[in-house]
Amino acid sequence: MAVHTATPANPPDQQPDPVHVTDRVGSGSDPFDAGRDPMGGRPRPPVGLYLHIPFCVSLCPYCDFVVVTGHAARGPGSRIEAFVGALHAELTLRADALDAIDGIGGPDRTALRSVYLGGGTPSLLTAAQVAGLLDHIADRFGIALDAEVTLEANPGPTERGDIAGFRAAGVTRLSIGAQSMDPAELRRLGRRHDPVDVRAAIAEARAAGIRSVSVDLLMDVPGQTLASWDATLHAVASLEPDHVSTYQLTLDDPDAEGLTTVEGDHLPVRAGARRWRRRAAAEQDQDRAAAMDARADRVLDAVGLARYELSNRARPGHASRHNLAYWRREPVEAVGPGAHAFDGVTRRWNAARLDRYLAALVPPDDGSPSLPPGGTEVIDDPTVRAETAILGLRLADGIDAAFGEDPRLGPGLAWGMAHELVARRADRLVLTPRGRLLSNEVFARLLP
Ligand code: SF4
């Protein structure tokens, strides 16, 4: 889903770019440097922090995120306040744990470069709640002065929240879950807003002085045509966002993948959503999706939104710093139900169920909070290499050509080149336009 103080001293394009899109993955003498732990197998301090806010007013049938809806999200039965208390408790416990690690704990730790409030619909929080969380994070983790602080927002008038208040709290980037600018498509997707709300949300963000505004769009959705996609692209381009994400609608089945167990990081799919997904899948068309992706390049390139990652385009200086950390395999801390963290060695996740999350962190009868249930996975060296190559190929700049000589990765990359899905550009390997559409075919051949 979607991402949010005073007018910057310089217009965004003239501000120093904190993230150089052309920074390379695996450059230097050893192409695997970016995927290796430079601290010799020890955890590294996080460069970013993700907070998962699981509340939405209603559930979109295609949604795979950890979300709770209805009375829990607003009104007298709202659990948001209790949840924010639990988030504070988890932040304290995670910071304590980090402080206790020899070599990276304590006040000398580098301040976070990014904080990301995702969901769900984080804009359902009050500005005071967001300010409280950011103050706590600044106190325990540190937030760099030029940090990117993103808040996802739904555009509807009762969902986009207090954008000026978020800006005053420290939000610098707003990610707006527009998905489409076609009213009929929005209704079919179960969205609660109209195109006019997207325009209003962007106008409010600009008026509040939000530095960077991003818009999420979905392609290959039920009832969508090339013409309606074209109209959506032109409507969004005319609003002059700084960043646009174009995601192909994915209809994976987290139940079938075994992700919805009690310790899992997903919630079970409801019966109605399952029926909706079956109908939507029947309407999807790979060739039309390819044509839509090419249209997005044409329309968005023309207004200066250059593709820097498979699904993401930005004006100079507006690439998502937080997401770049994931694609570069940098350590990111995470809190909230279903949230995933990585410390450079181990991947950790919280279980998805809100009740269990609250029971651990705000136990009854004033018990002591404990870390929520979840799981961990240590990443072995072959997986590090594969992840480094796969994530690097997602970026427009690709990976060092020397990856092609790696005994494990070379055959898969050679297969991609033979099928014109991967191409060599000087000393880099990049996905071709066809390779971007069939990237999973390449990635599957790189996994150990
Ligand atoms: S608004 Fe986003 S997070 Fe909420 S239910 Fe819809 S898709 Fe899921």
Atom of ligand 1 nearest to the CA of 69: 5
CA 58/CA 423 separation, integer angstroms: 44
- Cα 79 to averaged position of ligand 1 atoms, centre (Å): 17
* % the chain with pLDDT above 70: 91
68 lines ligand 1 (CB under 6 A): no
**Domain covering 380-448: architecture:** Orthogonal Bundle (1.10)
Residues in the chain: 448
pLDDT at 6 over 60: no
Q: Is the peptide bond before 48 cis (omega within 30 degrees of 0)?
A: no
Q: How confident is the model at residue 10 (pLDDT cuts 50, 70, 90)?
A: very low
CA 144/CA 159 separation, integer angstroms: 29
Residue nearest to atom 3 of ligand 1 (CA): 120
149 lines ligand 1 (CB under 6 A): no
* % the chain with pLDDT above 90: 76
Confidence at residue 5, expressed as pLDDT on a 0 to 100 scale: 26
pLDDT at 238 over 50: yes
pLDDT at 336 over 90: yes
**DSSP H helices in 100-162:** 127-140
- The token duo for 171 is 């939000």
Confidence at residue 91, expressed as pLDDT on a 0 to 100 scale: 98
Task: Give burial (CB, 10 Å; 0-12/13-18/19+) of 199.
Answer: middle
**Average pLDDT over every residue of 29-48:** 64
Instruction: Indicate where the chain has its CATH 1.10.10 domain(s).
Output: 380-448
Task: End-to-end CA distance of the chain: give it in Å, rounded.
Answer: 31
67 lines ligand 1 (CB under 6 A): yes
Average pLDDT, rounded, for the chain: 89
pLDDT at 12 over 70: no
Confidence at residue 40, expressed as pLDDT on a 0 to 100 scale: 55
pLDDT tens figures, 200-237: 999 999 999 999 999 999 999 999 999 999 999 999 99
1 lines ligand 1 (CB under 6 A): yes
Confidence at residue 26, expressed as pLDDT on a 0 to 100 scale: 36
Tokens 């009213």 — which residue?
Answer: 183
- Cα 375 to averaged position of ligand 1 atoms, centre (Å): 24
Confidence at residue 25, expressed as pLDDT on a 0 to 100 scale: 36
pLDDT tens figures, 395-411: 999 999 999 999 999 99
153 lines ligand 1 (CB under 6 A): no
β-pairing, 332-335 vs 422-425, is unpaired
**Furthest C-alpha separation in the chain:** 64
Give, in words, the CATH class of 12-327: alpha beta
Residue nearest to atom 2 of ligand 1 (CA): 1
- Cα 5 to averaged position of ligand 1 atoms, centre (Å): 26
Confidence at residue 253, expressed as pLDDT on a 0 to 100 scale: 78
Which is it for the CA torsion 307, 310, 311, 312, positive or negative? negative
pLDDT tens figures, 182-203: 999 999 999 999 999 999 999 9
65 lines ligand 1 (CB under 6 A): yes
Q: How far is CA 54 from CA 9, 72, 314, 352, 356, in A?
A: 34, 10, 27, 9, 14
pLDDT tens figures, 13-36: 333 333 333 333 333 344 454 444
**Average pLDDT over every residue of 172-190:** 97
48 lines ligand 1 (CB under 6 A): no
Q: How confident is the model at residue 9 (pLDDT cuts 50, 70, 90)?
A: very low
Instruction: Indicate where the chain has its CATH 3.80.30.20 domain(s).
Output: 12-327
pLDDT at 361 over 90: yes
Which of 57, 62, 67, 216 gets mutated to test ligand 1 (max ligand atoms within 8 A of its CB)? Answer: 67
Bin 112: left if φ > 0, else alpha if -120 < ψ < 50, else beta. Answer: beta
* Nearest CA among 238, 396, 231 for reference residue 303: 238
Confidence at residue 320, expressed as pLDDT on a 0 to 100 scale: 98
Helix (H) or strand (E) segment spanning residue 147:
strand 143-153
CA 442/CA 390 separation, integer angstroms: 9
Confidence at residue 217, expressed as pLDDT on a 0 to 100 scale: 98
Amino acid identity of residue 69, one-letter, is T
pLDDT tens figures, 87-101: 999 999 999 999 988
Of residues 102 and 384, which shows the higher confidence score? 384
- The token duo for 324 is 């770049």
246 lines ligand 1 (CB under 6 A): no
Its pTM stands at 0.89
Grouping H, G, I as helix, E, B as strand and the rest as coil, residue 303 is coil
Residue nearest to atom 6 of ligand 1 (CA): 60
Query: DSSP states of 11-55 as a string?
Result: -GGGS--SS-TTPPBT-SSSTTGGGS-TTSSS----SEEEEEE-B
Q: How confident is the model at residue 4 (pLDDT cuts 50, 70, 90)?
A: very low
163 lines ligand 1 (CB under 6 A): no
pLDDT tens figures, 103-159: 777 777 899 999 999 999 999 999 999 999 999 999 999 999 999 999 999 999 999
β-pairing, 332-335 vs 48-53, is parallel
